[in-house]
Every structure is written in structure tokens, then in C-alpha cells.
Amino acid sequence: MVTILKMKIRFLLFFLAISLTSCSQSNQYVGEYVSNNNSSGIKQRYRLTLNLNGTFEFEQYWAQIGMNSETQATGIEKGKGTWTIKSKLIMLSCNSMTDITQDYRLDFDDTKVSILNDSIVRFVDSKMFWVVNMELKKRI
């Protein structure tokens, strides 16, 4: 009886250690990743936010700048869903019934983001061709 109890405690400690390790590995990627592009009279900002609860938000902001540096037009497109880690890839998923709304129109389902290092990620596969190869830096 004592042996079974010791075995149960060992299994519990083993699974607790694995759970803590896997949580800490994904926690290091939680945060905000950004890229700013200014060219040809258009300012663009891309932001990917990975939340601790396994959800993400993406925002693309653009502004058209006129000859006298005045803003002529602006726009924002957003997406949201959930994220997980597999090897060195952040896997983004969207539920078309709950994550795609009037405010969140971008569909990041089956999108893969490569972890280049602790502070830079790159989109490597997505239905949205315009994000592929985009690099974002972690905001500290």
C-alpha cells in the first residue's frame, strides 16, 4: 500500500514538473511583436500580441501621408484567435464562428510563425500571402 502511494506521488511530481516546464517555455514568447514600415507616402504598423492565456491579436494599421506630411487616410485591420508552440513554430488558429467578426476580419487559421530568436519572429506560412516573410520584433 505504501509503495502504491509513493508511486502515485512520484507520478504526480513528474507530471507537475512537465507542466511547469511546458508553461515556462511558452511564457517566454508572450508579449507584443511589432514592425513599422514607412515608404512611398504610406506608414504601416503591424502588431502581433501573444497573451498568456493562449490567445492572440494581430493589428495592421496604415496611414496615407500627403505632400505636406498631413494624414489623408487611415485604416486598421485586425485578427484574433489562439496560439500554441510546436518545436520552434508558433501555430495561430482561428475559429471562423467566434474569432472572425466585423471588427476582427483577418483569418489567421493555420498560420505558422517561426521563432528566429528570443526577440524576432517571422511569418512562414499563411492563407494571407501578404504576411508571409514578415518579421516582427518583440517590444520590451
Structure confidence by residue, pLDDT tens digits, 9-48:
554 444 433 443 344 457 899 999 999 988 778 899 999 9
Cβ proximity of 63 and 42 under 8 Å: yes
Identify the pLDDT of residue 22: 44
Q: Which three cell numbers stand for residue 35?
A: 514592425
The per-residue pLDDT of the chain, averaged, comes to 86
Q: In the prediction, which pLDDT does 79 show?
A: 97
The H or E element spanning position 10 is: helix 2-27
d(CA 40, CA 129): 21
The whole-angstrom separation of Cα 9 and Cα 1 is 13
Mean pLDDT in residue range 131-135: 97
d(CA 115, CA 37): 21
Question: pTM value?
Answer: 0.78
CB count, 10 Å around CB of 41? 12
Kindly tell me the burial class for residue 68, based on how many C-beta atoms sit within 10 Å of its own C-beta (0-12, 13-18, 19 or more): exposed
